[in-house]
Amino acid sequence: MKEKEPELNDYGQPNWFHAHGTKMRLQKDECIDGRLVVIKGSAAIVRIGASPVAGWFIVEWRLAHPLFTETSGRAFFDDSELAAAFGLLDNFGSSEWLIDRFGGTVAKKCKFIRWKEFLNITGPGTGLDGDPNVSIRLSEEIKTALGGLHH
C-alpha cells in the first residue's frame, strides 16, 4: 500500500473532495439488510446493492447540480473494490498513478479514490459544484452497513 497525503483545503479535506460529502448519511429506512445500502445527502444519493453475479456489487449514484442539471452513473465493483472504497480494506492493488497524482489511501481508475474517510466515486474532482462525481465522508455507521453487504 502506498498512501500519499493529498493537497488539503482549509477544512482538512482533500482538494478533490466536495464539501457536500460531509452531509451524506446512511438512510436506514431505505436499506434492505444484506442486500441494499442507501447513502443520501443534500445534493446526492448513492445506492449499493448486490449484483446477481456472486462477488459483484452495483454502485449507482445521482447528483443534483445548480441550474437544474443532474449527473448519474453506475459502476460494478468486485468484493475487494467495494471494501477498499468504503474503508473496510486498505491493503488493495490500487491505481498507484492516481494516488501519486492526487493523493490518497486507495484508488481504482474509473471507480473511486479514497483518502482516510474521504471517498469520491468515480474519482478525484475539483471539489467544486458541477463535478460529475460523488463525495462521501465515511462514518462508522456507513462502514458497518457496507460490512453487512460485503461478505
Question: Each residue of 1-20: pLDDT tens digit?
Answer: 689 999 999 999 999 999 99
> 139 lies in a domain?
yes
> 7 lies in a domain?
no
> 81 lies in a domain?
yes
Q: Which helix (H) or strand (E) holds 20?
A: none
> 3 lies in a domain?
no
> 4 lies in a domain?
no
Mean pLDDT of the chain: 93
Q: Which helix (H) or strand (E) holds 124?
A: none
> 8 lies in a domain?
no
What percentage of the chain reaches a pLDDT higher than 70?
98
Decide if pLDDT at 150 tops 70. Answer: no
| Structural domain containing residue 126 | 19-149
Task: Give pLDDT tens digits for 57-106.
Answer: 999 999 987 777 899 999 999 999 999 999 999 888 888 999 999 999 99
Q: Which helix (H) or strand (E) holds 23?
A: none
pLDDT of residue 148: 87
Count: domains in the chain? 1
Q: Give DSSP secondary structure letters for 47-112.
A: EEEE-SSTTEEEEEEEEEEGGGEEEEEEEEEEHHHHHHHTTS-------HHHHHHH-BSEEETTTE
